Amino acid sequence: MAQTVNDFGKKEILPNVKKEEFNRQLVSMMGSLGFFGCAFPAGFGGSDLGFLSHSIVCEMVSTYDSGLRSLFNLQGLTVPYTMVEWGNDIVRRKYVKALVAAEKLGCTCFSEPNAGSDISAVETEVVDKGDHYLINGTKTWISNGTVADYAVIYCSFDRSLKHRGLCAIVVETDQPGWQAQEIPKLGDKSSPIAEVFLEDVRAPKDNLLGEWGAGFKVAMTALDRGRISVASGALGICQACLNASVEYANKRVQFGQPIRNYQMVKHIIADMVTYTEAARLLVRWAAWLNDQGRPFTREIAIAKYFAGEAAVRAAGWAMEIHGGMGYSLDLPVEKYYRDSKLYQIGEGTANMMRLIIGDDSLGIKKANRPRLKVPEDFRDLS
């Protein structure tokens, strides 16, 4: 799989990376090659290689273009995997395989104008109409929002209940009440992000994930797993910065010799290597724990926090190594610099990860509680 990803990156991703635009055909090719199916059984078009393999594939793709990283969330984890864990058999069979193969595209709708890190504050309203659900509200910073066919919407039936009033519901976007508007952003431009307006959006009763009012549990499992791909994407940025810096330091000549001979350049390269390798071990340890069915909320918070910080540092160091050329649009370093900042924000900000880690360490709130009981019978489906 790693060799397949590497070959694909060189042949298909690199020639198009400077365009910095969403490429539906490229996404379809990634799906057909099984890039999004590592964590899924064969019955859903997956390879059943696990979350560690998912992490490695995601990292490698991100090394070529970090903008494609979000697809590993949306086509592999926070949309279809959430469906197989919390959805009924109708949802699983109707949506999952098409998402894993990227025949259809998905999005997850957490954030709102007034609700980000505090998911219990969502204002999007769901009403049980007897034979269907009706959803109204606004979501923002929704990756794939303008191109998604299916969405997992987190909404509340009673805001006074806070997290106990949350529901997670699968919605098909091909209906008049779904309106998405793309948001211009600094980096990751090959992944569209949008503000989504929901006006009397309908969903059948079968599309509820988990139980009525249990959306917070669904969200927590989705976020933990989503952080595997986010941390892996940050790691890809680190490796890309390191690769570019080593290549440039070896060929750039100043004062009659390659700049690799200068002590400060060696120091920067050493720091980049150390941060990258440390991040890699943290990320893969968390993914492995998930494969073992063990709690990993603490470990993925540490990995996501450190890998995000490492990505920003590595991008800054790469700019230093490249000097004026790092500021040029002719080399990819400026793109790494723009893309890196997202990893301190997405799928839980750096400060939120600090809170999880700090609360756990101080005995205020234990991060690794017993794993939420989710159905596993989907692995027997063929």
**Strand duo 208-209 + 166-172: pairing:** antiparallel
Which position among 20, 21, 347, 376 bears the catalytic label?
347
Q: At what angle do helices 215-251 and 333-340 cross, to 10 degrees?
A: 160
Of 306, 299, 298, give the one whose Cα is nearest residue 366. Answer: 298
State which amino acid sits at residue 38: C
Of 44, 120, 95, 137, give the one whose Cα is nearest residue 378. Answer: 44
Of 203, 223, 221, give the one whose Cα is nearest residue 95. Answer: 203
Verify whether residue 247 is a known catalytic residue. Answer: no
Of 218, 84, 80, give the one whose Cα is nearest residue 144. Answer: 80
104-120 as b/e: b if 16+ CB within 10 A:
bbbbbbbbbeebbeebb
CA distance 371 to 289: 11
* Assigned token pair, 65: 């273009």
Residue corresponding to tokens 């098909």: 172
Of 75, 84, 92, 83, give the one whose Cα is nearest residue 30. Answer: 75
Tally the C-alpha atoms within 13 A of residue 281's C-alpha that lie toward its C-beta.
5
Please identify every residue annotated as catalytic. Answer: 347
